[in-house]
Amino acid sequence: MSQGAGCTSLIPISDLVRRLRERGAERVALQFPAGLARRAPGVAAALRDAGFDVIVSGDPCYGACDLALDALVHADVLVHFGHAPVEERPDVIYEPVRIDFDVTVLSRALPLLESRRVGLVTTVQHVHLVDAMAAYLGEHEIEAVAVPGDGRTPLRGQVLGCNFAAARATGADEILFVGTGVFHPTGVQLATRARVVALDPLTGEARSVDASRLVRRRAAVMAKAADATSFGIIVSTKSGQQRMDIARRLVALSDRAFLVAMREVSPAGMLDLGFACYVNTACPRLAYDDQIRFPVPVLAPPEFEILCGVRAWDDYAIDEYLSP
Amino acid sequence: MSQGAGCTSLIPISDLVRRLRERGAERVALQFPAGLARRAPGVAAALRDAGFDVIVSGDPCYGACDLALDALVHADVLVHFGHAPVEERPDVIYEPVRIDFDVTVLSRALPLLESRRVGLVTTVQHVHLVDAMAAYLGEHEIEAVAVPGDGRTPLRGQVLGCNFAAARATGADEILFVGTGVFHPTGVQLATRARVVALDPLTGEARSVDASRLVRRRAAVMAKAADATSFGIIVSTKSGQQRMDIARRLVALSDRAFLVAMREVSPAGMLDLGFACYVNTACPRLAYDDQIRFPVPVLAPPEFEILCGVRAWDDYAIDEYLSP
């Protein structure tokens, strides 16, 4: 398989068969994120040809925080494609995707960097290139600081959309994020208050990040939520998104707040239940990324704390799912 | 609450509080189908005022086959509104909805009935009126036969969209279905091969049922499925929709068939996985009702058996979820 700047072979079946046999697995469950799911029939056929009993999960999957434990009930091992672990489990094999690129693309970011010492973070697809990127920056007289995050982001330089611990741990005043999209670098800035430069290694586009637009947008959502007569405090039922401790703490802040258990946080479910506002303790990105899909305001936990008067506006923080 | 022809009080909170206290419950999970879900904030507030710790399920719910066991993890008892049990569980309280009507509306069906002995079936909302309906028919010299179905439809005259055992058990050549929609009476006809008259008690509309249109439509879907290069055999992960025995039997019929575990059977999930055709062992109605939403053919188990040559066309049968 090849894709864009070079996606290395996604699914080394012979290697996977070896690992499954080493574990003595006979029944195998397979889980793919949407972008890889079309490989399912082929991978399933190859594993069955190798003698395994196979079941494929057909539920949506957005991360390693969303393991197909329902399918694992019918199998000895779950093979989760596309993501690195956020928790190690003896019955789950993770097969992350690596996407290569030529690290000289970092030349595009050099004109934007102001410091000689820069924190370096990226997403899991590129995290195997951290040393090569640091070496390239070193050749250009920039000291790159790449360190592990917490238990959910244990790889050097690894950030998730819900976890910027590896950025914070650099202690740097300027951070280079290498990866696609605007969400991660915005989160890095809000989590660290550092200057952040974002480089998309596939397009070569580099830019300075300005998180204030997100904060202004969120302030507008919070203003709408201020009049709500009832709050549904959403708690996820997914394997790695259950933050019941936070949800219970939030419920206790308002006598108009109630716990709402949800698997997929959906606009239809919100409308049906009829709470005037929701607070999301599931995947932190949902509130920020998907407000446009939602029929009512959906707040992040720190935003609800501000609304309830137990957090100051100056302490506005992005919601992170940190390791317990 | 009042609705249409008279929905009796849906949620007798004081009675519910008494039953919860009798069980010693302290933590209560609430589950509503979409049509009742807007009652959630009010019911949750009333139960919290009565001293209970409350969590509301926000996942879609289409029947008592779809219990919110994820929410029950955080509670002592689950209160499931809107449906009668398909399985008894010690930690679930069912609060079905009763919808009353004046049984003289059956006069609208009399001109269409041809027999002096008629099987009588209805849906759970009206099943408390079975004796009154039978008495009305008796006054008009028609013997009404209303009998229990199987373990999933234990009430006299009760049918579900996936279970017509109470219709079959009447042994009648003509059956009167009282309820809304076309699916149930069509299923009754396919399951019994009897003459079927359907009466909508809310509109007063009566009509003779012709299931042949559904069968022709299904034949067209099966024709499209004949060329499929791969089949995903969907097995549900919901509490009362798991028919793994049937799914495994179907997988064994074709070397192009693979098990696919799904919670919500969704068009997006089907497209992502890329099987050319699916066979649905989850809620039987999905294949019949929702084909128009699906991107590829979705067969019922008996239809896949016909395609694989292990069932004759003359034995075309509607898929039912009968008690084990």
Q: Which chain B residues touch A261 with a CB distance below 8 Å?
A: 29, 55-59, 68, 70-71, 74
Give the list of residues 6+ apart from residue B220 with CB closer than 8 angstroms, or none.
none
pLDDT of residue A12: 80
Structure tokens at A269: 């479910």
Straight-line distance from the first to the last Cα atom of chain A, in angstroms, rounded to the nearest whole number: 37
Inform me whether the C-beta atom of residue B6 falls under 8 Å from chain A C-beta atoms. Answer: no
Domains present along chain A, CATH in parentheses:
13-96 (3.40.50.11840), 103-208 (3.40.50.11850), 215-315 (3.40.50.11860)
For A209-235, write each residue's pLDDT tens digit: 999 999 999 999 999 999 999 999 999
Q: Which residue has the tokens 């999209």?
A: A181
Give the list of residues 6+ apart from residue A259 with CB closer than 8 angstroms, or none.
A232, A233, A235, A247, A248, A251, B54, B55, B56, B74
Min Cα distance A65 → chain B (Å) is: 16
pLDDT of residue B324: 81
> What strands, in cross-sheet order, belong to the sheet with A195-199?
A143-145, A117-122, A174-178, A195-199, A206-208
Per-residue pLDDT of chain B (324 residues; tens, 9 = 90+): 333 344 444 568 999 999 999 999 999 999 999 889 999 999 999 999 999 999 999 999 989 999 999 999 999 999 999 999 998 899 999 998 889 999 999 999 999 999 999 999 999 999 999 999 999 999 999 999 999 999 999 999 999 999 999 999 999 999 999 999 999 999 999 999 999 999 999 999 999 999 999 999 999 999 999 999 999 999 999 989 999 999 999 999 999 999 999 999 999 999 999 999 999 999 999 999 889 999 999 999 999 999 999 999 999 999 999 988
Inform me whether the C-beta atom of residue B260 falls under 8 Å from chain A C-beta atoms. Answer: yes
Q: Which residue has the tokens 């008009």?
A: B140
pLDDT of residue B11: 66
**pLDDT beyond 60 at A206:** yes
Question: Could B261 and A56 be called an inter-chain contact, meaning their C-beta atoms sit closer than 8 Å?
Answer: yes
Which chain A residue is nearest to residue B47, measuring alpha carbons? Answer: A258
For A39-82, write each residue's pLDDT tens digit: 999 999 999 999 999 999 999 998 999 999 999 999 999 999 99
pLDDT of residue A324: 81
For chain A positions 44-63, those within 8 Å of chain B (CB to CB) are: 44-45, 48, 54-60
ipTM at complex level = 0.88
Question: Could A58 and B230 be called an inter-chain contact, meaning their C-beta atoms sit closer than 8 Å?
Answer: no
Could you say which DSSP state residue B151 is in?
T
Distance CA A116, CA A145 (A): 11
Inform me whether the C-beta atom of residue B257 falls under 8 Å from chain A C-beta atoms. Answer: no
pLDDT of residue A11: 66
Question: Could A37 and B268 be called an inter-chain contact, meaning their C-beta atoms sit closer than 8 Å?
Answer: no
Q: Which chain B residues touch A37 with a CB distance below 8 Å?
A: 272-274
Neighbour tally for B80: CB within 10 Å: 26
Which of A57, A264, A274 comes nearest B41 by C-beta?
A274
For chain A positions 267-296, those within 8 Å of chain B (CB to CB) are: 268-270, 272-275
Inform me whether the C-beta atom of residue B250 falls under 8 Å from chain A C-beta atoms. Answer: no
Neighbour tally for B243: CB within 10 Å: 21
pLDDT of residue A10: 58
* Position A223, amino acid: A
Inform me whether the C-beta atom of residue B223 falls under 8 Å from chain A C-beta atoms. Answer: no
Please say whether the beta carbons of A59 and B264 come within 8 A: yes
* Position A289, amino acid: D
pLDDT of residue B220: 96
Question: Could A55 and B263 be called an inter-chain contact, meaning their C-beta atoms sit closer than 8 Å?
Answer: no
For A123-149, write each residue's pLDDT tens digit: 999 999 999 999 999 999 999 999 999
Question: Could B44 and A262 be called an inter-chain contact, meaning their C-beta atoms sit closer than 8 Å?
Answer: no
pLDDT of residue B10: 58
Distance CA A64, CA A240 (A): 7
Which of A56, A230, A261 comes nearest B55 by C-beta?
A261
For chain A positions 144-203, those within 8 Å of chain B (CB to CB) are: none
* Position B206, amino acid: A
Global confidence as pTM: 0.89
pLDDT of residue B7: 41
pLDDT confidence bin for A8, thresholds 50/70/90: very low
For B127-179, write each residue's pLDDT tens digit: 999 999 999 999 999 999 999 999 999 999 999 999 999 999 999 999 999 99
Give the list of residues 6+ apart from residue B68 with CB closer than 8 angstroms, or none.
A261, B29, B31, B57, B59, B61, B78, B80
Min Cα distance B129 → chain A (Å) is: 29
Do β-strands B298-299 and B277-280 pair in parallel, antiparallel, or remain unpaired?
Answer: parallel
Question: Could B57 and A261 be called an inter-chain contact, meaning their C-beta atoms sit closer than 8 Å?
Answer: yes
Q: C-alpha distances in angstroms, A324 versus A239, A240, A245? A: 14, 11, 11
Min Cα distance B206 → chain A (Å) is: 32
pLDDT of residue B177: 98
Q: Which residue has the tokens 């004796």?
A: B131
Question: Could B261 and A55 be called an inter-chain contact, meaning their C-beta atoms sit closer than 8 Å?
Answer: yes
Please say whether the beta carbons of A6 and A99 come within 8 A: yes
Neighbour tally for A142: CB within 10 Å: 20
